[in-house]
A and B are shown apart, each in its own frame.
Chain A
Amino acid sequence: MTVALEVAGLVKQYRQTRALDGIDLQVNQGEFFGLLGPNGAGKTTLINILAGLVRPSQGTARVMGFDVARDYAQSRRALGVVPQELVYDPFFTAREVLRVQSGYFGIRRNDDWIEHVLHNLGLTPHADKNMRTLSGGMKRRVLVAQALVHKPPVIVLDEPTAGVDVDLRQTLWQFIQGLNREGHTVVLTTHYLEEAETLCQRIAMLKQGRLVALDSTRNLLSRRHEHQAQFRLDGEPPGSLGLKQGQGNCWLFGFQEYDELETPLAALRRAGIKVLEMQLLEPDLEDVFTEIIQNA
């Protein structure tokens, strides 16, 4: 399988801070890949190195086989980055911005594709409005459109849904998933872990500039074998049961196999405590993320 993104031994040192501390990573062509980590983990630095905005202190980075420093023109043509910050040029309309951005990439007549992107991102009615007058959500859509004007094989979205409404999220993911089905590689950073869980086939987790996990989403989720049962009781359970107190009047019990549930239920019966409500909780990416980041 062709490699879309490849970084090897990547280090970025800012005076006192080591933003990236030896990252090795490959993203295959056609993948929907998640890059997760707490704030300051180095996600944006990694993306900025791929985009040529930041120069690495050590190591190499390639986009579709092109070195980001040596073959910068080819690597930048292969990459579309949606930046995290809501940036825009206040002098121009959305359509002007997209035409100009196409020109930067050497594409002269790109109106058909621009119209397609505008339509799919719900921007057509706003295309001739000055960027200053657009709402935050609309500006975010234009940022996405700008990253796509040159039809890059690799699309990087740096927290594209931070602070945006449900409508944009749905429109955006529908469009991006469509592009992914057509063969575009998508790399996503987000703090909404349910988005990563639903969309990404593989996930990398960063902490303090180091790669602390890299696996398929399914394997990451199955790392936590433990299920949990949440009980709402009419009294306090015996301490010997080892139930952990949850929110409100709820108590949590961790188990591997379902037949283990009989133990607390029998003990509660013996103690004369009634189970008012019971709920089974399955592990999600947030649990896995928290566990990995805490233990790393």
Chain B
Amino acid sequence: MTGFSTLLYKELLRFWKVAFQTILAPIVTAMLYLLIFSHVLEERVQVYPGISYTTFLVPGLIMMSMLQNAFANSSSSLIQSKITGNIVFVLVAPLSYFEFFSAYLLAAVIRGVVVGVGVGLVTVWFTDLPLMHPFWLLALTILSTGILAALGIIAGMWAEKFDQLAAFQNFLIMPLTFLSGVFYSIHSLPPFWQATSHWNPVFYMIDGFRWGFFGHSDVVPGLSLLVVGACFVAISGFTLLLLKRGYKLRH
């Protein structure tokens, strides 16, 4: 356990030492999204009856920030360690691949949650957001950030240069998060894109998360939890398999 807890501590210390970049910056970005979109659309769009657009937007923004930061944490930590070569200090230690996975995953989940809480606190000034199902929110937060954290580990292992990691982020993670219904309900989309959205796991993370706050969602909340839970198990299993094989880490 000491090996795992030390690696976790090191990973937490790593992002805490650059908290301006890793925590404060994403909170400011989320605030800017909120300012712009709520200013432009507050009077024009009402997605659910009795729910203002700003109230609708905030849970999606919180979840999107958590997901992006969970991914950024594990992926950037790994690629930096690989490129600078200091990954060797972890690899020569008697850590199991499960400890390695758990420490990187948990650190990324914690960063995601810290950013999410930060965004949530800042938005208190903009809207009065109800908190109907807190344990549901917690479960969905852990599973969703866990998925992105595991994807970050895969991307960090796979990428050999920052350019490849940026491609993973810009061509996969960003479209998945932006096209998941953060800023709109998928019911406002043409039928084809509605159907396509159902293949995006991030849609279920955002939709289920919204239900946890104000009890409205596009799909049945149980389905969201099921899809997110299944994705978490599948991606974690795949990541563990890669780590066990030492994919691009142990030649």
A residues lining the B interface (CB < 8 Å)? 14, 48, 51-55, 72-74, 76-77, 79, 81, 83, 85, 87-92, 96-97, 100-108, 146
Report the bound CA distance from A129 to B142 in whole Å: 36
Question: Does B17 interact with chain A (Cβ within 8 Å)?
Answer: yes
- Cross-chain contact B95 with A104 (CB below 8 angstroms): yes
Q: Roughly how many angstroms separate A198 CA and B18 CA in the complex, as a whole number?
A: 47
B172 interface residue (CB < 8 Å to A): no
Given contacts A72-B94, A91-B13, A106-B94, contact A53 B84 (CB under 8 A): no
Q: Is B190 an interface residue (CB 8 A)?
A: no
Q: Does B250 reach chain A (CB closer than 8 Å)?
A: yes
The docked-state distance in angstroms from the alpha carbon of A100 to that of B3 is 9
Which residue of chain B has the shortest Cβ distance to A107 in the bound complex?
B2
CB proximity of B86 to chain A, nearest CB, Å: 5
Starting from the known contacts A52-B91, A54-B250, A103-B10, 4 additional A-B residue pairs (CB-CB under 8 Å) come to A52-B250, A72-B94, A83-B88, A92-B13
Inside 8 A of A88's CB, which chain B residues have their CB? 84, 86
- The listed residue (A81, A85, A100) touching B10 by CB distance below 8 A is A100
> Known interface pairs A52-B91, A91-B13. Does A104 touch B85 (Cβ–Cβ under 8 Å)?
no
A81 with B3: in contact, given A52-B250, A53-B250, A100-B9 (CB under 8 Å)? no
Contact of A87 among B7, B86, B96 (CB under 8 A): B86
Q: Is B6 an interface residue (CB 8 A)?
A: yes
Instruction: Point out the residue from A74, A87, A102 that lies within 8 Å of B88, measured CB to CB.
Output: A87
How many angstroms between the C-alpha atoms of A50 and B93 in the bound complex?
12
Name the contact of A100 in the complex, choosing from B6, B84, B246, B250 (C-beta under 8 A).
Answer: B6
Distance A51 CA – B63 CA, assembled complex (angstroms): 41
Q: Does B251 contact A (CB under 8 A)?
A: yes
Interface string of B76-92 (1 = CB under 8 A from A): 00000100111011111
Q: Which listed residue (A53, A76, A102, A108) contacts B94, Cβ 8 A?
A: A76
Let me know if B96 and A73 touch, CB within 8 A.
yes
| Minimum C-beta distance from A7 to chain B (A) | 17
- A103/B94 contact (C-beta < 8 A), A83-B88, A87-B84, A88-B84 known: no
Interface size class of B (residues with CB under 8 A): 20 to 34
Within 8 A of A (CB), among B62-78: none
Closest to B251 in A: A54
Q: B88 contacts A105, CB within 8 Å?
A: no
Min CB distance A117 to B, Å, is: 15
| A103 and B6 within 8 A (CB) | yes
Minimum Cβ distance to chain B for residue A65 (Å)? 15
- Of chain B, the residue at the smallest CB distance from A73 is B94
Closest to A83 in B: B88
Contacts of A55 in B (CB 8 A): 246, 250-251
Per the bound structure, the CA–CA distance linking A96 and B9 in Å amounts to 11
> Can you list 22 A-B contacts with CB-CB less than 8 angstroms, sorted by A residue number?
A14-B251, A52-B250, A53-B92, A54-B250, A55-B246, A73-B94, A73-B96, A87-B84, A87-B88, A89-B84, A89-B86, A90-B84, A97-B89, A100-B89, A103-B6, A103-B10, A104-B3, A104-B6, A104-B94, A105-B94, A106-B2, A106-B94
Determine the residue in chain B with the shortest Cβ distance to A19: B251
* B209-251 contacts to A (CB < 8 Å): 246, 250-251
Say whether A53 contacts B91, CB under 8 Å.
Answer: yes
A153 CA / B250 CA spacing, docked (Å): 24
> CB-CB contacts of B145-175 with A at 8 A, as 1s and 0s?
0000000000000000000000000000000
Are B5 and A103 within 8 A (Cβ)?
yes
B14 close to A (CB within 8 Å)? yes
Residues in A whose Cβ lies below 8 Å from that of B5 = 103
Complex: chain B residue closest to A75, CB-CB: B94
In the bound complex, residues from chain B placing their C-beta under 8 Å from that of A73 are 94, 96
